[in-house]
Structure 1
Amino acid sequence: MDYPSEAYVTVLNSSETYVCGAITLAQGIIQTNTTKDLVLLVDKAKTEKSRGALQIARWKIKNIYRFRNPHEKKNAYNEWNSSKLCVWQLTEYGKIIFIVSDVIILRNINKFFAFPQLSNMIK
């Protein structure tokens, strides 16, 4: 199977408060002159206003069904983090760089697409 596409991906599966972070993340990536797709996985709770702002920021929005971690207490910080596993459903991409939405990208990081599968980079 041929996978020509590569993408930067983030997930918004909780409150609206992370929308601004996702917009900032997109702008940082775009300013590095990348040609990679920007894919945002969102649950149905995001408002149309937020979705519109995210699309203007150049995110390709894909809907996900969020699911809670059965081992977390209700309203815990990590209650919905299991939804990040939906990234594995993006089979149309050959490689993905997953970035949480509260990160700021200051320089081009396309070189990380050349790393072997299941790499992890923390700095």
Structure 2
Amino acid sequence: MTDAPLLDRAPGGPCAYVTLVTNADYLPGAVALVNSLRRTGTTADVVVLHTGGVDPAALAPLAERGARLAVCGLLPTSEEFNLAHSRRAQHTRAPFTKGEKPAFHTPLDNFAKLRLWQLPYERVVFLDADIIVLRSIDRLFDYPEFSAAPNVYESVADFRRLNSGVFAARPSGATFAAMLARLDTPGAFWKRTDQTFLEAFFPDWQGLPVYDNLLQYVWFNLPELWDWTLARVIHFQYEKPWDPANPKRGQLAPLIALWQAFHDDVALPELPEPCTSS
């Protein structure tokens, strides 16, 4: 399927925040994200790409919060590509050794976020559904394509790699077509799916401040980097705050409590200082 995502209503303006929900297990995250964006007072559209794998009734809470729903298909990739990026194959060939992905993580689905280049907007900011926004990030719409924050969660050496949980882009059918041509070639394997692909496709990517995509592991790995006065986005990049099987629930308890308050749309808890040991 190469058709553009179908929005449930016309765009409200030239800019949009976009997230992706490919299965019902990501709905709690999307609810918290939409609530957090609404609290910032942004007037930009909030668009939820979904691939038809979620019951329409289950998506209703997102629409009730003002999100525009956009149904889209997974990318038209080859069987070889799909097998190479299945959960079993991807986790075997490039295992996650620093953290644990939840059981509902489906690597192949990640590539569907490329559909945002087909959306009818001039400027978009993509946000993974496991993110909360603490204060306005509307200024990111003015950043050039392609801008993303570094993948910092263990050491400052990570500044050389991007994290695709937050990025600024310019929708374009020509760009989308070029992506499809580059993505699925014989023997293609993108170690960290869309993240590795986007880093290769945009080798001159511009860096956003780390505080526009503050990864949760900074909380205990690099506490000296954590600064509540600067933090604008918190990204729960491995274990999810709504997952009852989260093995780092104790270490990340203050961040999970903050996420829960956004999800429930209640008063936010006091913000503690980060811990200094794992």
TM-score when normalising by structure 2: 0.40
Measure the CA separation in 2 of the matches of 1:107 and 1:74.
34
The question of 1:60 aligning with 2:60 is answered no
Measure the CA separation in 2 of the matches of 1:48 and 1:16.
10
User: Which residue identity is paired with 1:65?
Assistant: G
Partners of 2:87 and 2:107 within 8 A in 1? no
Decide which of 18, 21, 32 is 2:40's aligned counterpart. 32
**In structure 2, what is the equivalent of residue 49 of structure 1?**
57
Q: Deviations over 1:74-115 (max 9, x none)?
A: 56631221111111111x211100000000100000011111
Measure the CA separation in 1 of the matches of 2:136 and 2:87.
38
Q: 1:52 aligns to what SS in structure 2?
A: helix
The question of 1:114 aligning with 2:123 is answered no
Q: 2:135 aligns to what SS in structure 1?
A: coil
Query: What CA RMSD, in Å, does the superposition of the two structures yield over aligned residues?
Result: 1.7
Decide which of 5, 10, 15 is 2:14's aligned counterpart. 5
**In structure 2, what is the equivalent of residue 86 of structure 1?**
115
Count of aligned pairs = 118
More helix by share: 2
Larger of the two Rg values belongs to structure:
2
Runs of 5+ unmatched residues, structure 1: none
**In structure 1, what is the equivalent of residue 129 of structure 2?**
101
TM-score when normalising by structure 1: 0.86
Query: Which structure is richer in relative contact order (CA contacts within 8 A, separation 6 or more)?
Result: 1
Q: Identical aligned pairs, as a percentage?
A: 26
User: Which residue identity is paired with 2:140?
Assistant: F
